[in-house]
Amino acid sequence: MAFGRFERGKPQVEPVTLKILVAGGFGVGKTTCVGAVSEIRPLRTEELLTEAGRPVDDTTGVEQKHTTTVAMDFGRITLREDLVLYLFGTPGQDRFWFLWDELATGALGAVVLVDTRRLEDCFAAVDYFERRSIPFAIGVNCFDGAARHSTEDVRRALDLDTEVPVVLCDARERESVKEVLVAVVRHAMTYAADRERSVTT
């Protein structure tokens, strides 16, 4: 029953809900990514960049950026009738990293967004998820005017295990972001199944 209507012959499906983090360095496109794909109005906690933050916020390569996430972004997307993802975008600056442990609690996996012009900015996020055994996929955000690199080049540069998905994407495009989310869900499911097998054998 939904608003007084009932579809005959079609049982209601209780969707599985999964938590996915969207992480990465400062200015890599996390807020844009969550907003592009969310089917609800995304929750954003953005504040204007100030002169006080200039010494610690490196805007090299993202000089047009005027705001920053100070807590999290939140959105939701239904991948299938029976599968809903809740997306939590993390803040990028080091001084807000104390929030990451709270946001990571209960997460199935994560997307680490990468800007190849500032590749070093994502090292800390990759290290964070590797150390905590949280499966993740790399989303290479292909910025306009940036040099294009193959997924294998990015994999080698980040020294990733072969099973970690690396997907080229445009954080502004819904279907492109969905491809990255599907990749991380599949990877996380495989990761969980492999760990379960290793425990039972």
pLDDT of residue 50: 45
Domains parsed from the chain with CATH numbers: 16-200 (3.40.50.300)
Q: How many CA within 13 A on the CB side of residue 37?
A: 32
pLDDT of residue 54: 46
Spans of the chain, pLDDT less than 50: 1-6, 47-55, 57, 65-66, 69-70
pLDDT of residue 6: 47
Asked if 126 contacts 158 with a C-beta cutoff of 8 angstroms, the reply is: yes
pLDDT of residue 1: 42
